[in-house]
Amino acid sequence: MSGGEKVLLVGGGSREHAIGERLVREGASLSFISSNLNPGLLALTKDSGGEYFKGSPTDPEQVLEAARKLKPDLIVIGPEEPQFRGVVDKLKGNGFTVFGATSKAAEIEKSKVFARSLMKKYGIKGNLEFWYFESWSEALEFLERAGNVAIKPARQAGGKGVKVISDMQAYLSEEKKRVKEIHAKRILEEVMAKYTDIQEKLLIEERVDGVEYTVQAFTDGEKVVPLPAVQDNPHLFEFDIGPETGGMGTVQGPGKLLPFITEEEYNFAVEVLEQVVSAIAKETGEKYVGAISAQMMLTSKGPVVIEFYSRLGDPEAVNVMNVTDGNVLEAMFSAAQGNLKANLSAREVASVVKCVAPMGYPERRDLAKDKEVIVGECKGSKIYYGAVDVKDGKLITTGSRAVEVYAEAEEITKAAEIANQCAAGVKFLNWKSVWRPDIGNEWYLKKRTEVAQLMREVYGLRNA
């Protein structure tokens, strides 16, 4: 690419801020469409000669209108919902070059039932036993006899509603059964009630324990170029407790692996992605183009798939956009043209991201809204803006993770220390913040290394 290419980025969160920063660094003139004014993206558009289009990134007509005004060389889709709602289909149908999955291809994330069924049909490694239901009455009969299970919304719902239940204490069997029933009903009535674009409502999977890791990749529908492995941490509070969120922080490196994940386990995830991309083309008749991610878990059964993303993760994208060597803009553009050309690798550094949210997130987002954000001075870290808006010159929360702090060093623990110093300085006026100081510290790494080693030993005995 010659430089100066016009790029329209769809979305306005921390992931998009990190992607936009990388594309501008590689010579793009960046514009974006979002319903919120992301101050990081606004600065990038100003510096690179781009524009800000206020509109809904999930509305195909509004995104198309922005594209027609800008006439970009490339459109990059950040979040999953624009893909689910047909934004890519509309743009491609009108002749635009798009790095993002069509609605049919994005089913791999939108419908967990589609993903599990696809893996089963095409014999893709790493699948779990699963059952799905369309109604409460169907689920209730199954839950009467279900043991150790994970109960999930059948649709991608931003990390909400997942409940993992261990049913090993016989004296608590009735209580555990009641918890399963209550949570399944909550998913149906509270989480899935607003989604009418999917028939299945409730997914129940066999429960597995272990160490999670995510491998993200770019693809043109045939070639898959993997990015460095990252570990996300969904639990709200320290020591991996509390409700599940969209992610409270990540660790990566040094290099493409994690300290507790082997080359073989990384390659397993890459093979799964390659097989899934091929299976999607066979099943839907459409090539998968864009970013695709496999959230994995190293278990006593070996590596298994927890779920897929039809995009880069958030905050995982912040890590990979900073540590990946090579031309990301060229990779996205060539993939969108159907001929992915990329020589991407990982710098030999470690990185940590800390997400800072207002108290109330994720279960009372109404309480987490409309709080003023104050960011202190951060030495050695970078700030990426997420669920915030600019109103009357002030930075105001919109109910989710407001700021993501990025730091890198030669080791994860050192990067975590740097990120913690910055995250501690992110405040909300007259309100409390929630973030996780433990992500990336010595305890964190020791625990994950011990669990990973235990899983390998059990897996090895099973296959001896």
Per-residue pLDDT of the chain (464 residues), as tens digits, is 666 899 999 999 999 999 999 999 999 999 999 999 999 999 999 999 999 999 999 999 999 999 999 999 999 999 999 999 999 999 999 999 999 999 999 999 999 999 999 999 999 999 998 777 776 667 666 666 555 777 777 777 665 555 555 544 443 345 545 655 555 556 555 555 666 665 766 777 788 999 999 999 999 999 999 999 999 999 999 999 999 899 999 999 999 999 999 999 999 999 999 999 999 999 999 999 999 999 999 999 999 999 999 999 999 999 999 999 999 999 999 999 999 998 999 999 999 999 999 999 999 999 999 999 999 889 999 999 999 999 999 999 999 999 999 999 999 999 999 999 999 999 999 999 999 999 999 999 999 999 999 999 998 877 76
Indicate the pairing of strand 302-309 with strand 324-325.
unpaired
Q: Would you state the pLDDT for residue 19? A: 98
30 contacts 20 by C-beta, under 8 angstroms: yes
Go through the domains of the chain in sequence order and give each one's CATH number: 6-103 (3.40.50.20), 129-206 (3.30.1490.20), 211-443 (3.30.470.20)
Q: Give dist(CA 245, CA 426) in Å, integer.
A: 19
Reduce the DSSP state of residue 368 to 3 states and report it: helix
Indicate the pairing of strand 202-206 with strand 230-232.
unpaired
Q: Give dist(CA 115, CA 61) in Å, integer.
A: 28
Q: Would you state the pLDDT for residue 20? A: 98
Find all residues with CB under 8 Å of 213, minimum gap 6, and list them: 229, 230, 231, 258, 261, 265, 266, 269, 295, 296, 297, 298
355 contacts 401 by C-beta, under 8 angstroms: yes
- Burial label for 411, CB within 10 Å (0-12, 13-18, 19+), is middle
